[in-house]
């Protein structure tokens, strides 16, 4: 028998939108190389440029400033690999940002988080007083929303601070794009990373968004693709799917109201069933689709296995840290104890989530808390 599954792990990756699949299949028929001047090449080039326009519209940027990459990890690495003297690095950032910053050769000024899950941006000013870094070569990096807790970060306030003090700003918009309104050009950030597969597009494609007029050295060299900013033949089918997903996400931003209602229904049911459970991040602003729940005395690893056996896909922390179910660096930075952190699981909703999915999860949660859970055959 086939297993009936309930998928609630959209912050790790979203199921592929039908429109994205259709765009990808159509792009596979574009046999030309988009760098070729013949008709087939021009057809492939149009696919890429049409998608570039759609991705730009999603984040409020100019199409000419969208550089397609293999994903947000590459985009983050590229932005942080530039010649910075100092990087102001919140402890709650995604692993791809943390690792890239520490490999950059820049001095690192770590920024704490408060108990709500927001980065304490006032610490940037405190660190500036003692910094000897060259003006114009200091970078602040900040995510729009945290992948584990869904807590929305003070991006606008940080952007204003950076403008006032002459600091560059890099934004990791992976979890925010398609879930909240983004106007990149109005923020005045230097760079921003976005990803296709969080939106319902394919995996393996993303983009680095550049400030208008910013000249950036390639991270990957060779050919002259992407206006000589990133070498390598473009992933035409992946980019087509990315563009389709971006267009759907922009048109469906209002869907976040429905997801917020489903999330609130979920959290109310969890706390009614298990009053000792804790929903992480409720004291701060959160994405409409994310719940991080912890219950002291439980093991996240065992919970994930039980849910999986019952046909439900949820996660613990970041999917990019798979195989490491343990205390989350994000929750630790928030001051949450190791014992509670090790019990935390994340439920994240998306375009195909229904009330039935929420009720199914709550039913299995109740069974697990009562001492058992059914396996789906």
Predicted confidence at residue 373, as pLDDT, reads: 57
Tokens 């520490």 correspond to 102
pLDDT level of residue 131 (50, 70, 90 thresholds): confident
pLDDT in tens, 172-200: 999 999 999 999 999 999 999 999 999 99
pLDDT in tens, 258-292: 999 999 999 999 999 999 999 999 999 999 999 99
- Assess contact for 302 and 314: CB atoms under 8 A: no
Q: Which residues are catalytic?
A: 320
Q: Is residue 347 scored above 80 in pLDDT?
A: yes
Chain length of the chain: 377
Predicted confidence at residue 327, as pLDDT, reads: 73
Predicted confidence at residue 289, as pLDDT, reads: 98
At 325, phi and psi to the nearest 5?
A: -85, 105
The closest of 267, 357, 360, 353 to 14, measured between CA atoms, is 353
pLDDT in tens, 136-145: 799 999 999 9
Q: Is residue 167 scored above 70 in pLDDT?
A: yes
pLDDT level of residue 376 (50, 70, 90 thresholds): low
Q: Is residue 324 scored above 80 in pLDDT?
A: no
Predicted confidence at residue 113, as pLDDT, reads: 97
The closest of 214, 210, 230 to 222, measured between CA atoms, is 230
pLDDT level of residue 127 (50, 70, 90 thresholds): confident
pLDDT in tens, 142-157: 999 999 999 999 999 9
Per-position DSSP letters for 252-265, written without gaps between them = TTTHHHHHHHHHHH
> Domains in the chain, start-ordered, CATH in brackets?
18-251 (3.40.640.10), 254-369 (3.90.1150.10)
User: Residues 338-345: what's their mean pLDDT?
Assistant: 94
Q: Is residue 62 scored above 90 in pLDDT?
A: yes
Tokens 């970041």 correspond to 318
Calpha distance 163→160 (Å, rounded): 5
Beta bridge partners of 110: 89
pLDDT in tens, 217-234: 999 999 899 999 999 999
The closest of 272, 273, 287, 280 to 343, measured between CA atoms, is 280
pLDDT level of residue 122 (50, 70, 90 thresholds): very high
Question: SS3 for 345?
Answer: strand
Percent of the chain with pLDDT over 70: 94
């Amino acid at each position: 028998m086939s297993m009936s599954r309930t998928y609630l792990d959209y912050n790790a990756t979203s199921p592929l939108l039908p429109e994205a699949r259709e765009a990808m299949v159509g792009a596979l028929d574009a046999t030309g190389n988009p760098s070729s001047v013949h008709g087939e090449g021009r057809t492939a080039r149009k696919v890429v440029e049409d998608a570039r326009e759609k991705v730009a519209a999603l984040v409020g940027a100019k199409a000419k400033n969208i550089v397609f990459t293999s994903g947000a990890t590459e985009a983050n690495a590229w932005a942080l690999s530039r010649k910075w003297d100092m990087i102001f690095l919140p402890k709650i950032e995604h692993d791809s940002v943390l690792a890239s910053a520490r490999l950059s050769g820049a001095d690192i000024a770590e920024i704490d988080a408060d108990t709500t899950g927001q980065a304490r941006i006032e610490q940037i000013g405190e660190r500036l007083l003692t910094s000897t870094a060259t003006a114009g070569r200091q970078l602040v990096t900040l995510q729009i929303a945290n992948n584990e807790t869904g807590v929305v970060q003070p991006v606008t306030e940080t952007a204003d601070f950076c403008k006032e003090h002459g600091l560059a700003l890099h934004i990791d918009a992976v979890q925010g794009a398609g879930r909240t309104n983004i106007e990149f050009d109005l923020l005045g950030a230097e760079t921003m990373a976005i990803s296709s597969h969080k939106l319902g597009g394919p995996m393996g494609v993303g983009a680095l968004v550049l400030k208008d007029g910013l000249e950036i050295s390639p991270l990957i060299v060779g050919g002259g693709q992407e206006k000589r900013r990133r070498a390598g033949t473009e992933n035409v089918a992946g980019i087509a799917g990315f563009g389709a997903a971006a267009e759907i996400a922009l048109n469906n931003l209002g869907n976040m109201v429905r997801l917020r209602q489903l999330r609130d229904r979920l959290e109310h049911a969890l706390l009614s069933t298990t009053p000792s459970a804790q929903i992480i991040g409720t004291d701060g602003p959160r994405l409409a689709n994310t719940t991080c729940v912890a219950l002291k005395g439980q093991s996240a690893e065992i919970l994930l296995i039980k849910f999986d056996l019952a046909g439900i896909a949820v996660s613990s922390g970041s999917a990019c840290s798979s195989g490491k179910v343990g205390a989350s660096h994000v929750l630790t930075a928030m001051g949450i104890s190791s014992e509670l952190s090790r019990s935390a699981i994340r439920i994240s909703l998306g375009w195909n989530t229904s009330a039935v999915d929420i009720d199914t999860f709550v039913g299995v949660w109740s069974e697990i808390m009562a001492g058992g859970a059914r396996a789906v055959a």
